[in-house]
Amino acid sequence: MSRLDVFAIDGIGEIRPGDDLASIIAAAATAGSDTALADGDVVVVTQKIVSKAENQLVEIDPTDPLNHKPLVERESVRILRRRGDLIISETKHGFVCANAGIDLSNVEEGWAALLPEDSDRSARRIRDGLRGKAGVEVAVIVSDTFGRTWRRGVTDVAIGSAGIAAVLDLRGTPDALGREMQVTEVAVVDEIACAAELVMGKSNGVPVAVVRGIEPSWFRDGSVRDEIVRHPNDDLFR
């Protein structure tokens, strides 16, 4: 039977520019009573602490409520929609999201956190670091919180990944009745990011979670940029 264990890693603490996330995650996981990392785990790390560790922080005027708008425009390659304070744009990384992924919550007042320069690379670094520090072969996902076009509420998505298929290609897999399936490509890193978010919560500041029990055949080289980011030419809504 297929079974997953999803748990938060407590005790990460406040992350500062230059911090070595792999060391901090490995130490916090080992310190927990039953959260030590194991081969085959998927470690999900929120964008916020990756951006902080990589010093993707920009000073903004805390007295101006629209203080991050020039940043949003600078980080965007294409504005899709504006409504009031909200800008939906395509970032230089190819993500389409609100306010170019720039975030002011869980960041000190007067500062904004930009997205990591290359979140797949960030995931690879953390993965390599965990191999060195904790001696484990894991996959890593960098997650962020995005809205959806036609559905209320936000969910987490993967903005970077390493060591796991970002999209699982089921083309040609027979369905339960033996015929070829129509629904073919499952964005498993996004689903894993969602599972992790359920134990992180938004307000309690737990920035790392583990999803244990993922099918071993899903572990391979892969990246969000190559597999998930949709090219504008393939896109009906840009």
Q: Is 220 in the site for a second copy (CB under 8 A)?
A: no
Going by C-alpha positions, the residue among 11, 3, 73, 19 that lies closest to residue 36 is: 11
- Asked whether 196 and 211 are in contact (CB, 8 A), the reply is yes
- Would you count residue 236 as binding a second copy (CB under 8 A)? yes
**What is the number of other CB atoms lying within 10 angstroms of the CB of residue 25?**
26
- Cα dihedral 98→140→125→112 (10° resolution): 20
Among 3-11, 51-59, 69-77, 134-142, the segment contacting a second copy (CB under 8 A): 3-11
x-or-dash pattern for a second copy, window 39-78, by CB under 8 A?
A: ----------------------------------------
* Binding residues among 94-153 for a second copy as defined by CB under 8 A: 95-96, 103-109, 145, 148-153
Instruction: Please tell me the distance from the alpha carbon of residue 238 to that of residue 234, in angstroms, as a whole number.
Output: 10
The residue range among 53-61, 122-130, 132-140, 173-181 that interacts with a second copy, by the rule CB under 8 A, is 173-181
> How far is Cα of residue 158 from the mean position of the Cα atoms in its chain?
4
Q: Closest CB to a second copy among 132 and 201? A: 201
Q: Which of 70, 115, 124 is nearest to 96 (CA)?
A: 115
Pick the binder of a second copy from 37, 43, 166, 208 (CB under 8 A): 166
As given in the structure block, the two tokens for residue 209 are: 């979670």
Among 19, 23, 32, 67, binds a second copy (CB under 8 A): 32
User: In the stretch 174-203, what mask flags binding to a second copy with x, by CB under 8 A?
Assistant: xxxx-x-xxx-xxxx-xxx-xx-xxxxxxx
Nearest to 225 by CA among 159, 128, 157: 159
Residues in binding contact with a second copy, number by CB under 8 A:
81
The CA angle 100-102-104, to the nearest 5 degrees, is 155
- Complex with a second copy: residue 128 or 186, whichever CB lies closer: 186
Indicate whether 235 belongs to the interface with a second copy (CB under 8 A).
Answer: yes
